[in-house]
Chain A
């Protein structure tokens, strides 16, 4: 049982480049979330989804877009990366009780 899988695990981008982070869950969870973690800041919610085809903004959505075309996948896109988006990104899913986190993606924007 894989749980929540994030790809890639590491990435270095140049300012202005774009990329997509993929989150896949195999638990048939309705809810999925993207967080970013910065030193001393805890985890902050970027976007979330309450089901296939739905997305909503979290606390820090600027500069990011998301899509949930399939229930098991939640994609996080950076259209034009900025150094301020250097962070560790965590995906999580929930079936209504408890949360399962992925292993994280460490993104550096230079």
Chain B
């Protein structure tokens, strides 16, 4: 059974600081997603990581994937208040039906 662990689960940051969210998973997979969710809203796709060593960047967010270590990271550079949200990683089970297994999410709060 695939397990996905995110840490930290809560993160309070000051504006301008850097930080990293970690996503560990227990079974081989070569496709990982990062989502953002604002309160009361649906999930917004941030990144799709498809292979070992994949790195993607969008604005102040950068995601990477190490399939050998079964680890993905979401790095936040010079945080701003607008980044406050809950971030989820999700590992694709693949196979004939796909299916995402989600981490519990990291609630990020960026304070002035």
Contacts and interface: CB of A to CB of B under 8 A. Distances in A.
Interface of A: 31, 33, 35, 40-45, 48, 50, 56, 58, 90, 92, 94, 96, 98-99, 101-104
B97 A40 contact: no
Interface of B: 4, 9, 33, 41-43, 45, 48, 88, 90, 96-105
Given A99-B33, A104-B42, A42 B96 contact: no
Contact of B42 (A50, A96, A103): A103
Contact of B97 (A31, A43, A98, A102): A31
A40 B33 CA distance: 19
B102 A44 contact: yes
Contacts of A99: 33, 45, 98, 100
SS of A interface (majority): strand
A30 B29 CA distance: 21
A30 to B, nearest CB: 9
18 contacts: A33-B100, A40-B9, A42-B104, A43-B43, A43-B88, A43-B90, A43-B100, A45-B100, A48-B97, A48-B99, A56-B97, A90-B42, A90-B43, A96-B98, A99-B45, A103-B41, A104-B41, A104-B42
